[in-house]
Amino acid sequence: MRIPMIAANWKMNTTVSEAKKLVTEIHQELSDIKNIDKVICPPFISLATVYELTKEGSIKLGAQNVYFEEKGAYTGEISPLMLTDFCKYVIIGHSERRQYFNETREIINKKIRTSLSFKLMPILCVGESLEENEAGNTEKIVAGQLKSALAGIDYPNGLILAYEPIWAIGTGKSATGEQANKTIGFLRRNINELYNETAAQNVRILYGGSVTDTNTTEFISQPEIDGALVGGASLKAKQFISIVKQAREIKNQTSS
């Protein structure tokens, strides 16, 4: 059985004091909730504060980005070594980084390799653009992104994937549960081809793209979808708490 996961990507939002307030509300409601992994990915500058406020409970932290060297003259960058004090996870290959910061497939592969060497578990994002989707190229694109990101890597136990169609991120226009389930099933079959059946059955694959507390059921009730990566809705404590609680209920029902 794969444990469901809901991950919050706060992106470039929240000052340190706002982060403190938001995580305090979330921690109060969710830190004792079992049978679901809860991950919060705040901005780097709030990681230490958020860590102090959550370390006694079951919420784990992730970073939104990482550099692929351990240390050195890379002004402004943050290494996996620096993150391991606070984080268990790191988001890699988010479409905003590919699009605005010119992250190539080669860079993403390097980031995954270095993170794994520090036992920082990647949440690897893949997803197609609107044009690629309309041209019927979704599977070709996500398969290519997956293969290049994992090139030369022995299957990392615990790797998380997130299918995030670019046209659904922050747009309020989500995929349907069925569409997302189909592509996520396809990604799972790709993991089988790249590694083996056990790896495919173990890998958790999240859906991301305009998930809110009103459409959580549609995604989480799909058999291939193991959870969600949530952007905008994770900045509202009540919504995020509701998404986690709904997801836990749905997955608990389907597994019993």
Query: Which residue from 84, 59, 175, 169 is spatially nearest to 125, judged by alpha carbons?
Result: 169
CB of 171 to ligand PEP, least distance (A): 7
CA dihedral 244, 248, 249, 255 (to 10 degrees): 160
Distance from C-alpha of 212 to C-alpha of 243, rounded to nearest angstrom: 7
Q: Does 14 bind ligand PEP (CB under 6 A)?
A: no
Kindly tell me which of 27 and 94 has the beta carbon lying closer to ligand PEP.
Answer: 94
Among 42, 62, 93, 231, binds ligand PEP (CB under 6 A): 231
CA distances from 153 to 38, 56, 157 (A): 26, 33, 11
Q: Does 164 bind ligand PEP (CB under 6 A)?
A: yes
CB of 87 to ligand PEP, least distance (A): 17
Query: Which residue from 191, 158, 184, 4 is spatially nearest to 88, judged by alpha carbons?
Result: 158
Catalytic hit among 96, 103, 164, 218: 164
Pair 6, 243: CB distance under 8 Å? yes
**Region from 104-112, 144-152, 186-194, 202-210 binding ligand PEP, contact rule CB under 6 A:** 202-210
Q: Does 127 bind ligand PEP (CB under 6 A)?
A: no
Distance from C-alpha of 209 to C-alpha of 212, rounded to nearest angstrom: 9
Among 22, 142, 149, 211, binds ligand PEP (CB under 6 A): 211
- Using CB atoms, what's the residue nearest to ligand PEP? 231
Interacting residue ranges for ligand PEP, rule: CB under 6 A: 9, 164, 169-170, 208-211, 229-233
Q: Would you name the residues annotated as active-site residues?
A: 94, 164
